[in-house]
Amino acid sequence: MDDDPATEILEATYRALCRHGYADLTIKDIAAEADRSTASVHYYFDDKQTLFVEFLEYLYDRYTAQLAAIDGDTARDRLAALLETVLADDETGTGLEFRTAMLEVTAQAPYDDAIRARLAAFDDVLFDRIRAIIEDGIDRGEFDATVDPTVATEFLVTAVSGAYTRQVAMDRSPEQLRATMTRYVETRLLAE
Amino acid sequence: MDDDPATEILEATYRALCRHGYADLTIKDIAAEADRSTASVHYYFDDKQTLFVEFLEYLYDRYTAQLAAIDGDTARDRLAALLETVLADDETGTGLEFRTAMLEVTAQAPYDDAIRARLAAFDDVLFDRIRAIIEDGIDRGEFDATVDPTVATEFLVTAVSGAYTRQVAMDRSPEQLRATMTRYVETRLLAE
């Protein structure tokens, strides 16, 4: 691997989180997943809390890059691609195990300022990306001019958050939720 | 109090949950809140898990009654009243402390079939109530006939779930989220 050791440990944290969930996750689990000694993980990260905050920053960089890479000829295509990216249900980093662990992390946010600040950053970058697409769609006459970009964006960001919760906690199909949101875009945002 | 002891204990569980959160909640905390001995709580409920499942059923009955009591002359009024009820931010049982604890419970659902089944029942009853209102609005010509009741309902239920998460974990204003959803109803569901 070309990655530096700290990045390898963060990548191993991802796999360990999916395997063990957040509450039970230990530095030992992460070390095992990274094929390293616990001491060598501690060399890079003092404790689980420090490692985990770094891990959220690593995820944030990845998420920001994913959102920036979304492309399409029209605003409608870009919004559909974005919804597919954030609601995909596959092994590229957004599977059920990962979302299950992230819901545990989210439930810890009210008790942990560092986690809350990082989760709010994910929320902000998604908000900004969606609003930019909607504003562009309105400017180009592709989306209905009566759409308020901030309101539509807030609604979509909130629904994405709810889609994760309903998938993880209530076994709702993320594919169906994605179809519902795409249909909202098709029928409620597009100009007639 | 006129309530039977088991109901008194469930009411005390509500207050103890708001005070201590879910992860740290003990039978001892609940007993203290109910002004009873731990032994007398154990007389009615074997353990925390049994008590908690009963507690979710007690909450479910309350929630169902609240949703059934929603009234209004028009479908639009009823939908606005419903959103106000489920997204209210006050002391009547839907405050921030309660939602914070319930997010912890939700994060446990993937690991606990009994909790997952009860949370899915809350989701179902909200879904059914919203869909009935939207169908009625379409039938009366109040809502746009091109609205698909199931899609619009799924979207609203998912957004309500996301509104709780974003309020609790990211400090987003529930009032603003409620205003956004009400505006969706006003601009996207109502017939022209």
What is residue B143's DSSP assignment? B
Q: Is residue B182 part of a domain?
A: yes
Q: Does B51 map to a domain? A: no
Residues B8, B34 contacting (CB under 8 angstroms): yes
pLDDT at B90: 62
| CATH code, A18 | 1.10.10.60
For helices B75-87 and B48-68, the axis angle rounded to 10 degrees is: 150
Residue B27: pLDDT band by 50, 70, 90 thresholds?
Answer: very high
Q: Do A169 and B116 touch (CB under 8 A)?
A: yes
| Structural domains of chain A, count | 2
Same domain for A35 and A66: no
| Cβ neighbour number for residue A188 with a 10 Å cutoff | 22
* pLDDT for the residue numbered B92: 52
User: Shortest Cα distance from A56 to chain B (angstroms)?
Assistant: 15
| pLDDT score at A65 | 95
In a domain, A6, yes or no: yes
Domain contains A53: no
- Name the band, by pLDDT with cuts 50, 70 and 90, for residue B16: very high
Q: Are residues B77 and B144 in the same domain?
A: yes
Partner residue opposite B181 with nearest CB, options A155, A163, A164: A155
Residues B33 and B124 occupy one common structural domain: no
Q: Can you tell me whether residue A143 is helix, strand or coil?
A: strand
State both tokens at A123. Answer: 């929320």
State the CATH number of the domain containing residue A114: 1.10.357.10
Of the candidates B98, B73, B69, B62, which has an alpha carbon nearest to the alpha carbon of residue B84? B69
- Which of B118, B130, B161 should we substitute to test contact with A (largest number of A Cβ atoms within 10 Å)? B161
Residue A52, in any domain of the structure: no
| CA–centroid distance for A41 within its chain | 25
A:B CB pairs within 8 Å: 116
Q: How far apart are CA A159 and CA B78, in angstroms?
A: 21
**What distances in angstroms separate CA B39 from CA B27, B30, B49, one per listed residue?**
9, 11, 16
Examine the domain organization and report whether A111 and A36 are in the same domain. Answer: no
Tell me whether residue B110 is exposed, middle or buried, using C-beta atoms within 10 angstroms of its C-beta: 0 to 12, 13 to 18, 19 or more: buried
Kindly state the percentage of chain B with pLDDT values over 90: 73
Q: What is the DSSP letter of B111?
A: G
Averaged pLDDT score across all residues of chain B:
90
Q: Do A180 and B154 touch (CB under 8 A)?
A: yes
Say whether both B34 and B60 belong to one domain. no
Q: Confirm whether B181 is domain-assigned.
A: yes
Amino acid at B180: T
Are B172 and A119 an interchain contact pair (Cβ–Cβ within 8 Å)?
A: no
* B77 and B172 co-located in one domain: yes
Task: Find which of B170, B177, B192 to mutate to test the A interface (most A CBs within 10 Å of its CB).
Answer: B170
Which of B18, B21, B170, B159 has its CA nearest to residue A106?
Answer: B170
Q: Are A38 and A68 found together in one domain?
A: no
Model confidence over B1-15: pLDDT tens digits?
557 999 999 999 999
pLDDT class of A158 with cuts at 50, 70, 90: very high
CA gap A174, A99 in Å, rounded: 11
Binding-site residues on chain B for chain A (CB distance < 8 A): 21, 100, 103-104, 106-107, 109-111, 116, 119-120, 123, 146, 148, 151, 154-155, 157-166, 168-172, 176-177, 180-181, 183-184, 187-188
User: Could you tell me if residue B161 is inside a domain?
Assistant: yes
Residue A111: CB partners within 8 Å, gap ≥ 6? B21
ipTM of the complex: 0.90
Query: Do B74 and B8 share a structural domain?
Result: no
Residue percentage of chain A with pLDDT more than 70: 96
Residue B182 pLDDT grade (very low, low, confident, very high; cuts 50, 70, 90): confident
Indicate whether B21 and B66 sit together in one domain. Answer: no
B84 is in which domain, residue-wise? Answer: 56-189
Instruction: Name B143's bridge partners.
Output: B190
Q: Are residues A26 and A78 in the same domain?
A: no
Q: Identify whether the C-beta of residue B181 lies closer than 8 Å to the C-beta of residue B156.
A: yes
Per-residue pLDDT of A87-116, as tens digits, reads 887 655 458 889 999 999 999 999 999 999
CB-nearest partner of B169 from A109, A157, A166? A109
| φ/ψ (deg, to 5) at A14 | -55, -50
* B50 in a structural domain: no
Q: Kindly list the residues from chain A whose CB atom is less than 8 angstroms away from the CB atom of residue B111.
A: 21
Residue A75: what pLDDT? 93
Gap between the Cα atoms of B28 and B18, Å rounded: 15
Q: What is the pLDDT of residue A94?
A: 57
Residues of A in contact with B157 (CB under 8 A): 162, 166
Q: How many CB atoms lie within 10 A of CB A54?
A: 18
Its sign, for the CA torsion B63, B64, B67, B71, is negative
Same domain, B104 and B129: yes
Lowest mean pLDDT among A35-49, A77-91, A142-156, B68-82: A77-91
pLDDT band at residue B120 under the 50/70/90 scheme: very high
What is the percentage of chain A residues whose pLDDT exceeds 90?
73
Instruction: Report pLDDT for B130.
Output: 96
Same domain? For B109 and B153 the reply is: yes
Q: pLDDT, tens digit, for every residue of B28-77?
A: 999 999 999 999 999 999 999 899 999 999 999 999 999 999 999 999 99
Token match 């209004």: residue? B72
